[in-house]
Amino acid sequence: MRKLFSRREFVLLVAIIIISVATTIINPQFLTIDNLINIASTNAATAIIAVGMTMAMIIGGIDISVSAQLVTVGVLCGKLMQMGYLNSFTMFVAFMVIGGCLGSINGILIAKTDLPPIIVTLATQNIFRGFILQWTRGSWMMGLPGYFLQIGKARFLGIPCSVYILAIVAVSAHLLLSYTRIGRDIYAVGGNKDAAVRMSVNLVRTYLFVFVFLGVLTGIAAIVYFSPSAAILPTSATGLEMTIVASVVLGGASINGGRGNVGSTLLGVFLLGLIQNALVLAHVQAYWQNILNGVFIVVPVVADAIRVKYDTGEWTRLGLFRKKATKMGGKV
């Protein structure tokens, strides 16, 4: 069984089952095919970005500018579509290219300056948001072409197009992390940067690849995020980055790097989406939903920070916890 599921994945599956059963008892409409598909499609954009965020956290980084990138890509490409410069094919290319360019800004700054990723991406988050709000004056972008809006409505075998896009992204990222040299380099840098350098891993190339790839996925997510709404709001997705980070950490990725995988991240996204949907169907009042959502976001992040401090022995030195010491042949 351990070959099929890691311990974290098993815990997430058990949590999903428990929440599903409990919510179904309260509201039988929860555990229906239509509602489960709705949860998957509603959280598809979050999951796509979370896949890229998994790579960023494996390498020991983080990108809190993703929500600002999402809106920036959406507004810029929306303007190009309004002006008639894009069609159904070049639209996908434009979203990915612009997303990759925004991601490259983060990648270059992090790789070349050696500044903490959270500082760099906090700065770019404000720059991207400020630029778009200044340009649009905060007004809605309407009049988007039909080929773009159709993506949000299209279904195949009863499943929304967004779910298929997520599946393609997830499988591609899993194969990249598991079976390519760049995937091995990402884990190596996150596990021990100094050792990775001694193994001739190119740090600049690796960091740049990760953040460009995350930017490309953010561009794809922008299509999935905005196409169902028929409009692009420059103030959209505020705070989405924290939900994404929480999903990735909940899936087992470490905030210190070196650990994480795509499958567990998807389970983390689905679990948080499941909880949010359950709160709605249980008729929990809106302000309690906000409070509980905040708790569910911060708990996995804090828990991982505690685990890291315990594993590194920092809290043991402070006398807060004691690890069991062992010798060959028995306990001491």
Q: Which tokens sit at 43?
A: 């959280």
Tell me what the mean pLDDT of segment 167-192 comes to: 94
Residues 6 or more apart from 114 whose CB is under 8 A from it? none
Please say whether the dihedral angle defined by the alpha carbons of residues 131, 137, 142 and 143, taken in this order, is positive or negative. negative
Query: Domain 7-331 classified CATH 2.40.50?
Result: no
Tell me what the mean pLDDT of segment 256-279 comes to: 88
Binned at pLDDT 50, 70 and 90, residue 328 comes out as very low
Q: How far is CA 311 from CA 213, 317, 321, in A?
A: 30, 11, 11
Binned at pLDDT 50, 70 and 90, residue 327 comes out as very low
With 90 as the cut, is the pLDDT of residue 291 above it? Answer: no
Q: Where are the domains of the chain?
A: 7-331
Stronger pLDDT, 127 or 84, i.e. the higher one = 127
With 70 as the cut, is the pLDDT of residue 323 above it? Answer: no
Q: How many CB atoms lie within 10 A of CB 188?
A: 18
Tell me what the mean pLDDT of segment 191-200 comes to: 88
CA dist 121 and 4 (Å) reads 35
- Where on the phi/psi map is residue 142: left (φ > 0), alpha (ψ -120 to 50), or beta? beta
Stronger pLDDT, 195 or 329, i.e. the higher one = 195
- Where on the phi/psi map is residue 261: left (φ > 0), alpha (ψ -120 to 50), or beta? beta
- Over residues 45-72, the pLDDT tens digits come to 999 999 999 999 999 999 999 999 999 9
